[in-house]
Structure 1
Amino acid sequence: MKKLYINYINNFRGLSPEIWLLSLVTFINRAGAMVIPFLSLYLVNAKGFTLPQVGWIMTSFGVGSLVGTWIGGRLTDTIGFYKVIVSSLFLGGIGFVFLQFVDTFYGFCFGIFMLILVADAYRPAIFVACEVYSKPGNVTRSITLIRLAINLGFSIGPLIGGIIIATISYTSLFWIDGLTCVIASIGLFILLKPKKTKENETEKVVKKEGVPPYLNGLFILFFIIMVANSICFVQYFSVMPLYYEKAHFLSEDLIGWLFFINGALIVIFEMPLITWLERKKMSKTMATFWGVFFLAISFIVLNISSWSGVLLIGMILMTFGEMIGSPFSNALALEMAPKGRKGSYMGLYSMSFSISHIVGHNAGMNLVDGLGFNLTWYTMFIFLVIICLAVWWLHKLMSKSNNLNPSKTVTIEKEIIQ
């Protein structure tokens, strides 16, 4: 056990203090984000909206995320990631507090759009901050630590959120969400200062190389794959909580425990798993393939039995897919981004998740409303199998590319230097 503990701790060695601070702030922010996994339940149970109405509200969520990540990427390239992160956290926290006072369907559509627009400007900025503050050779592990903080917060948040809903009320979550975002922004402003660029590096940072992301054919294919994969992944944050409640009669606190398992597994296993896969020289595209594959299996197992234990099996499979696929896809997006365009590339990459929110929640809600849960899970499985084939095609194309060869274990930093 002692050897396992030492090996686990060694996975975190060498990361810069700034990355640890960004991770701490991200944890505080995500621990407060306990409204999101219960949003569909809140809209149905507390506000009385229909499933199609909830689908459109979640579509507004996605549109806000799309616009927010695009603006965040552009602002990151112009005013810098630091101002974007601090402003996004502070204003997003205020937005969460005010959202609880909205009662009408159209008001909620507009409110969630504006809130997520501000909140998701954070996403491309934090990826760029990871690269800026990382030591050479540590970008993938730095991204993994940020993801670990996100998932640790996300595992604790829903668990506490489910208990709060069961014992107090839904509206309490909005106050906690808002205040934790504000605290995170203040903490970052006080403790972390923008990294000063050396005078002889200024020209390199400002100068744009390569082509914009929308003119990079390989990146566009990768973007489409990420959109398609995320359309299915977001079902776990809207349709799946309803499935847990309506089909398996779980209470909010038990749903919170299921999400806690997701986060706890990521906290315990993701960093060692990523370190092991890097030692095994797995390419980033093949890691993405296995991420999609495990997500597909997580849906199909739900139809095997009416036993509620399959919910735990499905959550574990989804979690392993997330652990394998997400860090490497983030790192691959950064690797494909030329100098001076990282904000734009990561903005487009983040927009893939935003588009999935626009399409995924609405599609999932309407599929369940028209076909039921079981046929919806079969549909998700077949769709993801097709995406697996697309990832395999991307892997072959990138193997032939003169710019990137995923069969070689080249760190992101070496690619950028070359």
Structure 2
Amino acid sequence: MKALLHLYLNSYRGLTKPAWMLALIMLINRSGAMVIPFLGIYMTQSLHFNIKDTGTVLSCFGVGAVLGSWLGGWLSDKVGHFTIQLSCLLLCIPVFCILSELTNPLSLSVGVFTLSLITETFRPANSVSIASYSSPESITKAFSLNRMAMNLGFSIGPALGGFLAAFSYHWLFYGNAITSGAAGFAFYMFFRKRRGNTDKKNVPKKTDADVSIRSISPWRDGKFLVFTILCCFYSICFFQLLNTLPLFYREAHHLSEWDIGLILAYSGLVVFSLEMPLVHIAAKRLSTSASIILGTVLCGASFSILTFPGHLPLLYFSMFLLCLSEILAMPFMATVTMKRASEGRQGAYMGMNSLSFSAAHILSPFLGTRIADHFGFNILWISTGILTIITALGFWMIVKKL
């Protein structure tokens, strides 16, 4: 027990105060993450959209996310990560309120597009901010801490959202608006006079070869482009969590909004509890490529076992595997990206990394809902498993070259 406690505490060493504060702000913001996990169910149950229209609206979230990822990366290098993060947090407030009044596929598509454009512009700026306030030795831990806070918030948000949805779906939108405002206020108060880490002693020296390779645009970095595409493939599979998986729970297992919220809350709680120690162990015992590959394989396994007979125990075990996948894969994807970038290009590279996830927000619901509608959920889960195997092989070939 003491050894486990020592491991857990040791995994937090080296993290700076701003890194902790960024995590706290992420926790506040994500504690209101009620809209997106329930958006598909809201459209099918409350607005009575068919599954294709639902998939189309969810894909519009991905379109906005793609543009937001590029815009966030570009603006972070031009304007600075503080201004971008604060602006995005405050702009979300009116958008969430307006979104609750949109009731047809076209207007809701425009509203969801606008929301995702703002929220995804925030992501690259936030990633650059984390790197700015962290030493090179603690950067993976800092990303993991931020994701841990995000997942703790995600364990609170869906559970609260499932409770509020039993009364009215409109409360989901208002709750998200309130937490965005609270996060924006906290961010401004702490970071308004604080500068990032500019201590050159903490920056590893780069050779002339490093500079010549890494100073180019990420769009011209061929190896990194391949890595980005593979991250997109992984994300297409993983993001079934946010669109088709809740629909599967509702239609195939007839779970209530409260039960669905509990499963999603469980996922956030698992990642919150295990991410820091597991990342600490993986960083010491596994290579970066091994962690990403193992995480990718576990993602496919988590969906594939949904084809087996079973009810709640099977659903919770599947979600546990998906949590392990997220823990092992995503922090190291961010680390590979940040280490590949040179000074002055971090925003562009993190924007490219966010772009891979954002593109998956388009393809994941679009493909997932249509495969489920035409062929059934079992074919969707088997296809997801096959794609993750192909993706893992791709990571095995490319990550070691980066």
Task: Give the TM-score taking structure 2 as reference length.
Answer: 0.94
Name the counterpart of 1:153. 153
SS at match of 1:286: helix
Moved segments of 4+, more than 4 Å: 197-201
**Distance in structure 2 (CA, Å) of the matches to 1:257 and 1:90:** 29
Q: How far apart are 1:258 and its partner, in Å?
A: 0.8
Does 2:288 align with 1:289? no
1:6-405 correspondence to structure 2 within 5 Å: 6-166=6-166, 168-193=167-192, 195-196=194-195, 210-280=215-285, 282-395=286-399, 398=401, 404=402
The separation in 2 between residues aligned to 1:79 and 1:307, in whole angstroms, is 50
The separation in 2 between residues aligned to 1:286 and 1:22, in whole angstroms, is: 28
Deviation at 1:169, TM superposition (A): 1.1
8 A contact 2:129–2:196 mirrored in 1: no
CA-CA distance at 1:358 after TM superposition? 0.9
Q: CA RMSD in A?
A: 1.8
Residues 68 and 305 of structure 1: CA distance in aligned 2, closer, same or farther (over 3 Å): same
Distance in 2 of aligned mates of 1:369 and 1:199: 52
Q: Deviations over 1:126-145 (max 9, x none)?
A: 11111111134110000000
Q: Percent identity among equivalent residues?
A: 34
Q: What amino acid is aligned across from residue 185 of structure 1 in structure 2?
A: G
Q: 1:12 is paired with a residue of what secondary structure?
A: coil
| Distance change in 2, residues 1:199/1:283 (3 Å) | closer
Q: Which residue identity does 1:245 align to in structure 2?
A: R
Q: Distance in 2 between matches of 1:387 and 1:197?
A: 35
| Secondary structure, counterpart of 1:33 in structure 2 | coil
- Give, in whole Å, the separation in 1 of the partners of 2:150 and 2:165: 22
Q: Report how many aligned residue pairs link the two structures.
A: 392
Conserved? CA contact 2:133–2:196, under 8 Å: no
SS at match of 1:250: coil
SS in structure 2 opposite 1:173? helix
Unaligned runs of 5+ in 1: 399-403, 405-418
- The residue type paired with residue 165 of structure 1 is A
Q: Conserved in 1, the CA contact under 8 Å of 2:292 and 2:330?
A: yes
Q: Which amino acid aligns with 1:243?
A: F
C-alpha change, 1:199 and 1:133, in structure 2 (3 Å) is: closer
Bigger CA drift: 220-229 or 261-270?
A: 261-270
Gaps of 5+ in 2: 204-210
Q: Distance in 1 between matches of 2:300 and 2:5?
A: 32
Comparing 208-217 with 63-72, which one deviates more in the overlay?
208-217
Matched position secondary structure for 1:138: helix
